[in-house]
Amino acid sequence: MRKSRSSDERSPSRPAPALAIAGVRPTKSRGQNFLASGAVADRIVAAAELDQPDHIVEVGPGLGILTEKIAKLPHRSLSLVELDSRLAAQLAERFAGDVSVRVINADFLSLDFASIVADRRIKVIGNLPFNVAAAILRRLSDNSRAISRMVLMFQREVATRIRARPGDDGYSALSVFTALYWDIDLHFAVAAGSFHPRPKVDAEVLRFTPRAELPFAIDEERDILEIIRASFSAPRKQIRNSLSHSLGIDAAKIAQALERAAIDSGVRAETLSVADFVRLSRVLAPLIARTIGADA
């Protein structure tokens, strides 16, 4: 009876006792909100559509509620990237007998991504720490060619911005950055009550597939990202003014560039599509280069 009770207390579906046993107190600074709903975990894992050849990376496995379900399904390998050393040790102990599971105690943002990819395409799953979720998505986008699918959970407000389209209230630089690399073909809400400790807001799960073709050449990427950042640097301002102020380029020259890119200089960045930003970047790239050269 004692053994059964101990096993139950360690269950990731009961985060409070499991965390106490691990000696972990969830902190806001790490954005730690542990999923406690098995039904939600099942839905997340099902969305990944795992198959025998799949190499899987789980970001922030925590107590392992997703890990346990993934490990039961066909897969080639499963790498768990966990920042908290106590949780990583607990996961390593739990899956010690499974040679397909590797636990990596590291910060995903500073991890050598190539070391977990190893010249193969992977699927990524994760209940991302709310405070660094956007930064993790940025890192994954930098490596989108190595990924075949991602199923990730975000704070709902962030998820809304990620999947927003031109003209939507939440459309932002994050929306455009994401659309450069990914198509989002599935999303569903997760109530705040599904977590421990309970966050103040709901969450949302998004499924990403890499775009069949990137809409830009690799040598254009830096300029495009810079133009997107500059365009959204002053929300609700006309794009001509945002670009001029952020890039330090005369407004008249910006207006001319916008005209050449077939974009009305009086519109706001929130109305432009990915194709618009790519086209604008190609026109503005020489001006950016000259500005950088003058500053040097």
Q: What is the pLDDT of residue 65?
A: 97
The arithmetic mean of pLDDT across residues 45-58, rounded, is: 96
Q: What is the pLDDT of residue 72?
A: 93
Sorting pLDDT into bands at 50, 70 and 90, what band is 57? Answer: very high
Q: What is the pLDDT of residue 10?
A: 73
C-alpha distances in angstroms, 124 versus 60, 106, 250, 257?
A: 11, 16, 44, 39
pLDDT mean across residues, the chain = 92
Q: What is the pLDDT of residue 25?
A: 87
All residues at 6 or more sequence positions from 146 whose CB lies less than 8 Å from its CB, including other chains:
113, 117, 120, 121, 122
Strands 147-155 and 122-127: parallel
Count of other CB atoms within 10 angstroms of residue 6: 11
The arithmetic mean of pLDDT across residues 268-284, rounded, is: 97
In the predicted structure, residue 5 carries a pLDDT above the cut 60: no
Opening angle at CA 261, ends 256 and 265, nearest 5: 55
Sorting pLDDT into bands at 50, 70 and 90, what band is 291? Answer: low
**Higher-confidence residue: 17 or 232?**
232
Sorting pLDDT into bands at 50, 70 and 90, what band is 76? Answer: very high
Q: What is the pLDDT of residue 2?
A: 40
Residues 25/48, Cβ–Cβ less than 8 Å = no
Sorting pLDDT into bands at 50, 70 and 90, what band is 13? Answer: confident
Residues 203/153, Cβ–Cβ less than 8 Å = yes
Sorting pLDDT into bands at 50, 70 and 90, what band is 247? Answer: very high
Opening angle at CA 128, ends 122 and 133, nearest 5: 100
Q: Bridge-partner residues for 101, per DSSP?
A: 78
